[in-house]
């Protein structure tokens, strides 16, 4: 019930139910506790309690790992990377995303792969690469459509905000749309490799020119 309420943006009801679920399941049902922590983290994010949101996702990562659920830990790490990127903590987001991508690539999960592409887009935006973000967001939607996965209301809100931010940062609708079309023609494996290559191009001195190395058009600040 908490998950349903959260996905439909009934945050006040979902928060209460999830907090109760955490209390009841802690030490008894680790999976239920982990999932509730993950979902509650997104609720706190949309309520603009960013520090609490990150703390909950950090706890979720450890909770999933405590019983060997690598996919769950990967999803929580992806959430953390998105949050840290949106807060401007680029180095932290980059490290979390690289770790999560390794988990996703090993798993072969298409749904989680789409989540990973969305998180990579958030990090690309933090690196001021909106055309890279456009291609990744488009590829994520293409994957979800291919497997018949429908986003919940909260997920749609997060995704739409990333698209709006990427388009605004690109400041060039034609270039943005071209990158978007490239994403629509990209398989999950190709998109994950594209994202991984983009991450591998980061150096201690800051981001290299991803648009020069990855065929996505001119750089946009």
> pLDDT, tens digit, for every residue of 43-83?
999 888 999 999 999 999 999 999 999 999 999 999 999 99
**Cα–Cα–Cα angle for 210, 206, 194, rounded to 5 degrees:** 30
CA distance readout (Å), 158 to 26, 28, 121: 28, 32, 12
Q: What is the pTM of this model?
A: 0.82
Count Cβ atoms within 10 A of the Cβ of residue 51 and give its class: 0-12 exposed, 13-18 middle, 19 or more buried: exposed
137 Cβ contact partners less than 8 Å away, ≥ 6 residues apart: 117, 118, 121, 159, 162, 163, 166, 180, 183
Q: What is the pLDDT of residue 203?
A: 42
**According to the model, what pLDDT value does residue 161 have?**
93
Distance in angstroms (rounded) separating the CA atoms of residues 138 and 190:
13
């Amino acid at each position: 019930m908490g998950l349903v309420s959260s996905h439909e943006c009934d945050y006040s009801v979902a928060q209460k139910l999830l907090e109760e679920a955490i209390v009841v399941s802690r030490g008894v049902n680790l999976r239920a506790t982990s999932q509730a922590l993950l979902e509650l983290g997104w609720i706190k994010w949309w309520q603009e309690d960013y520090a609490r949101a990150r703390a909950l996702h950090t706890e979720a990562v450890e909770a999933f790992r405590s019983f060997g659920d690598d996919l769950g830990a990967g999803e929580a790490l992806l959430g953390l990377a998105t949050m840290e990127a949106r807060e401007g903590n680029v180095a932290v987001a980059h490290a979390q995303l690289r770790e999560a991508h390794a988990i996703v690539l090993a798993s072969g999960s298409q749904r989680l792969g789409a989540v990973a592409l969305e998180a990579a887009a958030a990090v690309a935006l933090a690196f001021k690469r909106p055309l890279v973000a456009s291609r990744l967001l488009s590829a994520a939607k293409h994957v979800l459509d291919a497997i018949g996965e429908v986003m919940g209301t909260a997920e749609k809100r997060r995704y739409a905000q990333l698209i709006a931010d990427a388009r605004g940062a690109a400041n060039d609708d034609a270039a943005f749309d071209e990158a978007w079309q490239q994403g629509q023609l990209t398989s999950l494996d190709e998109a994950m490799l594209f994202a991984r290559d983009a991450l591998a191009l980061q150096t201690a001195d800051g981001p290299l020119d991803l648009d020069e190395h990855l065929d996505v058009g001119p750089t946009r600040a």
